[in-house]
Amino acid sequence: MSILLSILNALFSWRRSRRSPTSKRAKVVALEQLDHRQLLSVNFTGNVYNDFPATSGPGVAVVLNPTLPSSHPGFTIPSDIKPFIEHSGFDIDGYRLEYTPADDTLSVGIQQPINSTGPVPPGVNPAIAGNPVIAGDADDNGNAGTVNPNVQALRPTFSEFPSLGGSDRMGVFFDFNNTGTPDVVAGIPRLVELTGQTENKQFQVAQAVNFPGVSAPSFGTPLQDFTGYATLINTPAAGAFEFKISHFSELYQAETGKPLTATTTFGVGAFGGSDNDIGIGEAFFPSQPVTLGLGPIPPKVCPPASPPVLINPHENRHINTAHPTLIRVNVFGSSGFDVTKIVPSTVRLGGAAPVESFTRHINHDEFLDATFVFLGTDVHLPPGIIEAEVTGTLTDGTTFASSSQVFNRDKSFYTTAQIDQQAQRQAAHESQAVQSQGLASVAPTPVVSPAHEIRVTVPIPGKSAATQQQGLRSATQRQSPAVTPVIGLRRAHQAALASADIMAQSLAT
C-alpha cells in the first residue's frame, strides 16, 4: 500500500511540474508563511501557547484533551522507533479559539505536545528541547521535510512532507447543529481525498463529507467566502499550525439558520495524520462543546455600494458652484449594481438634489448607466481639488456612496464686483425668461402689418383666369399713421397669408 502511495505522490508531483505557467487553476487560498503585514485579530507567531493565552474572556475558548497528560487515545508510536521519536507532529493536545466580532473572524491554533528538556534522541535537532513538536513533523526530528536516519534505517518507506504536503492532513471540524455529525471542516486535506479531490493541498474551509467507519471528515465543496489564511513555519521554536476563518457568524447562520449569540454552543473537534509515517497512529480529537462566551455581537451592517462615478467628464472634471451652471454626474451600472433601482430624489451631491435625471449607455458595455444633473448654485462643496461624494438610495433600501476627484470653482475665485455683475446678469435673464413665458401663455392672434395688403382671389363665372388674376383682388388695409411694434411679425404675417389662402379655396368650392 505504501509503495502505491509513493507512486501516486511521484505521479502528482510530475503532473504539477509539467503544468504550463499560464494554465488556469481553481481559485484557492495557499498556505502562507508568517507575514506580519497580514495580521488581524490574533498575531500569529507560530507559537500557539503565546498567540492564544489560556485565559478566559469573551470570544476565547481553550479545549484540551481530558486524558492529558497520561495518554492520547488511539495515538501510537511503534516501539522500535520510539527511542528516536518523543512526540509526533500529528499528535494533538487540543485546540485554541478566539473570535473577534469586529472583523467577524475565528482564529484557530492547534495545540501539540511539548518536547522534554532532557537528552535529545540521536539524529534530532537539539532545538526541539522545550518546544512544541512541529505540525507535520512525524518523526519529531526538528524538520518536517526530512526523516531521522535512524528511523529511516528501521523503516525505509517512512517519508515526510514540509508544510503538510503529500498525504499529510490536519485541521478542525465543526458540528454547528450539535447532531454528532460534522458540518464544516477547516485545514489541509490529504493528497487524495476520499471525495476524489487530488491536487488541492491549500488551506481551505469546506463542507464536511462523512463516511461510515471513518472518524475524521473529508473535505467536500470548498467554501471560498469563509476561507481566511493559514501560517505554518518549519522551525522548532514556532511550528504551530494556525489559521483564520472569515465571516464566521455568517458561516454559522448559513449552516444552522440561526444567528450566532453569546450563548451559542457548538461542537469542535480536530484531526491529524499521514499515510507515509509508517506505523504512527492517526490523531483524532472528538468533538467537544464550545461556548465562546461572547459579548453582544453587533448587527451585520453592509457597507454602501460604491459604483464608479464621473462628475462633469465633458468639462475635464471641473465644476462651478458660484454660478448656476449644470453639473452632470454619471453613475455607471455593472453586474452587481442596477442603476434603474436608484431613487432619483434621494441622490445628493454636496447636499443638492438633482434637477434632472435619465438613463442611457455611456461606456458602451451591456449595463445601463445613469446621469444626474445638478444646478451649480445648489451644490455646496469646498473649493479647489476635492473628492466630491455622490450618495443615494435604491428601491430595496440599500444605499450607495461613491466619490470622484473634481476641481471646484466657487465664489472664492471671484471678486465682489464680479459676483455683483453676475447677480445683475442673472436677474436680467430671469426677467426676460418671465416675459417670454408670459407671451407664450397667450394664444397668438394673427396680426397683419399695415404696410402689407392681402388680396383674396374670388373666381367669377364667365371670366378667364387671366382676367380674374389681373382685376379681382380686394380686402386692402391702409396704413395707420401710428404703428405699434408687433412681436413675431413675420410669423403672424405668414399665418395671415395662410388663412387667406384657405378662405380663397373655400370660396372656390
pLDDT digits (tens, 9 = 90+) for 486-500: 334 344 444 444 444
Distances from the Cα of 234 to the Cαs of 85, 128, 334, in angstroms? 17, 12, 45
DSSP 490: H
Of 507, 447, 506, 504, the closest CA to residue 477 belongs to: 447
Q: What is the CATH number of domain 309-409?
A: 2.60.40
Cell of 432: 426676460
As a whole-number percent, the residues of the chain with pLDDT over 70 amount to: 71
pLDDT of 192 above 70: no
What was the pLDDT predicted at 17?
Answer: 37
pLDDT at residue 266 above 70?
A: yes
Rounded distance, CA 148 to CA 83, Å? Answer: 12
Q: Are strands 318-320 and 399-409 parallel, antiparallel or unpaired?
A: parallel
> What separation in angstroms does the CA of 361 have from each of 230, 338, 394?
44, 13, 19
Q: Tell me, what's the pLDDT at 4?
A: 54
**Residues whose CB falls within 8 Å of the CB of residue 439, separated by 6 or more in sequence, listed in order:** 487
Confidence of residue 76 (pLDDT cuts 50, 70, 90): confident
Q: How far apart are CA 30 and CA 32, in angstroms?
A: 6
Q: How far apart are CA 53 and CA 46, in angstroms?
A: 13
Residue 336, burial from CB neighbour count under 10 angstroms (0-12, 13-18, 19+): exposed
Check residue 148 and give its pLDDT.
94
Buried b or exposed e, range 262-290, using 16+ CB within 10 angstroms: eebebbbbbbbbbbbbbbbbbbbbebbeb
**CA within 13 Å, CB half, 260:** 28
Phi-psi region of 81 (alpha: psi -120 to 50; beta: other; left: phi over 0): alpha
* Lowest-pLDDT range of 163-177, 211-225, 332-346, 433-447: 433-447
- Return phi, psi of residue 475, to 5°: 60, 50
Asked which of 244-253, 309-318, 336-345, 408-417 is least confident by mean pLDDT, the reply is 408-417
Domain segments of the chain as ranges: 2-7+25-291, 309-409, 416-442, 445-509
- The CA–CA distances, whole Å, from 325 to 105, 317, 394 equal 49, 13, 27
- Determine the 3-state secondary structure of 441 from DSSP: helix
Environment class of 61 (CB within 10 Å of its CB; exposed 0-12, middle 13-18, buried 19+): buried
State mean pLDDT over 252-268: 91
Q: What are phi and psi of 399, to 5 degrees?
A: -115, 165
- Residue bearing cell 448607466: 369
Q: Of 446, 439, 509, 452, which is closest to residue 480 (Cα–Cα)?
A: 452
Arithmetic mean of pLDDT, 240-263: 92
Please tell me the least confidently modeled range out of 74-88, 347-361, 408-422, 494-508.
494-508
Q: Are 33 and 234 in contact (CB under 8 A)?
A: no
At residue 156, the pLDDT reads 92
Q: How would residue 16 be classed by pLDDT, with cut points 50, 70 and 90?
A: very low
Nearest-angstrom CA–CA distance, 151 and 141: 10
pLDDT value at 62 more than 90: no
> What is the Rg, in whole angstroms, of the alpha carbon atoms belonging to the chain?
42
pLDDT > 90: percent of the chain: 43
What are residue 170's DSSP bridge partners? 188, 272
Asked if omega into 69 is within 30° of 0 (cis), the reply is: yes
Highest mean pLDDT among 252-266, 434-448, 454-468, 476-490: 252-266
